[in-house]
């Protein structure tokens, strides 16, 4: 199988990346090891899904714990306001609560999950569930695709790794991509795993 873009991981980042690539005219495969896209998104914000914060970007950056500069370039290219426009474009009505926190009017993360997953399927992205990736493939120093644990190869011109970290293992966030990228010489900083 050959695609323009493969997105590995069907959490919020992977779902949004797949939609964005498809909107640009790419032939897109979204590969997810679990049987349900958006699983961790469905429990976010205590089941209400705090989609973003509506504060002006400078104020938002001041309130990010740790190294907010790390997020600066990402948030200037796709801001918290862009996130709200994206979700409203999917038909999700949003509301702002205390300290600028933004939730769906329904107060249900399931509203957000359904809208974004429906958008992926409606856009024509090829979704492969229950399809774990074993490793990345490369030729002449270029990533060319993925090898599935079943042995098949899926090739693409671009690969988006959106597997997340290892923050909530019960939702599938188990740090799968760490060894894949380590195999290509990337350094992994030991992740902090919180007890559950």
Q: How far is CA 24 from CA 5, 21, 125, in A?
A: 11, 5, 12
**Residue 50: count of CB within 10 angstroms of its CB:** 15
Residue 140: phi, psi to the nearest 5?
55, 45
Tell me the whole-structure pTM to 2 decimals.
0.89
Q: What's the alpha-carbon Rg for the chain, to the nearest Å? A: 17
Q: Would the pLDDT of 138 be above 70?
A: yes
Does residue 192 surpass a pLDDT of 70? no
* Residue found under tokens 């958006």: 38
Catalogue all structural domains in the chain, each as residue range(s) with its CATH number.
1-39+111-196 (3.50.50.60), 50-107 (no CATH)
DSSP 8-state class, residue 47: G
Task: Determine contact, residues 131/146, Cβ cutoff 8 Å.
Answer: no
pLDDT digits (tens, 9 = 90+) for 157-171: 999 999 987 777 777
Q: Model confidence over 143-155: pLDDT tens digits? A: 999 999 999 999 9
**Quick one: pLDDT at residue 183?**
87
- Distance in angstroms (rounded) separating the CA atoms of residues 6 and 26: 10
Q: If you search the block for the tokens 């970007």, which residue do you land on?
A: 57
**Residues 151, 17, 190, 155: what is their CA dihedral angle, to the nearest 10 degrees?**
30
> Residue 195's pLDDT is what?
53
């Amino acid at each position: 199988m050959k695609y323009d873009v493969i997105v590995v991981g069907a959490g919020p980042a992977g779902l949004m990346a797949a939609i964005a690539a498809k909107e640009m005219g790419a032939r897109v495969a979204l590969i997810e090891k679990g049987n349900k896209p958006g699983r961790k998104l469905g429990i976010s914000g205590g089941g209400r899904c705090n989609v973003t914060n509506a504060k002006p970007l400078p104020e938002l950056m001041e309130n990010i714990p740790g190294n907010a500069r790390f997020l600066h370039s990402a948030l200037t290219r796709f801001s918290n306001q862009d996130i709200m426009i994206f979700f409203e474009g999917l038909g999700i009505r949003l509301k702002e609560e205390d300290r600028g926190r933004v939730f769906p009017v329904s107060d249900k993360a399931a509203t957000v999950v359904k809208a974004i997953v429906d958008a992926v399927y409606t856009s024509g992205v090829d979704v492969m569930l229950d399809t774990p990736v074993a490793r990345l493939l490369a030729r002449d120093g270029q990533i060319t695709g993925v090898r599935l644990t079943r042995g098949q190869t899926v090739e693409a011109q671009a690969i988006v790794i959106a597997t997340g970290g290892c923050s909530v293992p019960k939702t599938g966030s188990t740090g799968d991509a760490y060894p894949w990228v380590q195999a290509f010489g990337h350094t992994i900083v030991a992740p902090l795993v919180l007890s559950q």
